[in-house]
Amino acid sequence: MAKKFIKYWHKMDEKEKQKILKNVFCSNCFVTEIVDYTIGEENCGLVLKGKCKTCGKDVARVVEGVRK
């Protein structure tokens, strides 16, 4: 199933991807950018898991509108 999400992510418009990558919550820095991320699957759908660009803490971002 994760392959479906990876394909979706790679087909997504680059501007949209950048909006998502730069709008991630970090409990230390609040709104931040996600770096060194992987694309995964959770019950809620597509999830990006990576590090906060500012402090390096683990962060995650659900990509809305992409379901199983």
Q: How confident is the model at residue 44 (pLDDT cuts 50, 70, 90)?
A: confident
Q: Letter for the amino acid at 41?
A: E
Q: ∠ CA 25-32-62 to the nearest 5 degrees?
A: 40
Give every CB contact of residue 65 below 8 A, 6+ residues apart in sequence. Answer: none
Q: What is the pLDDT of residues 1-17, one digit of tens each?
A: 578 888 889 999 999 99
**Residue 57's domain spans which residues?**
2-62
Report yes or no on whether pTM surpasses 0.75.
Answer: yes
- Give dist(CA 27, CA 4) in Å, integer: 29
Residue 29 lies inside a defined structural domain of this protein = yes
Q: What is the pLDDT of residues 20-33, one digit of tens each?
A: 999 999 999 999 99
Residue 19 lies inside a defined structural domain of this protein = yes
The domain total for the chain is 1
Residue 68 lies inside a defined structural domain of this protein = no
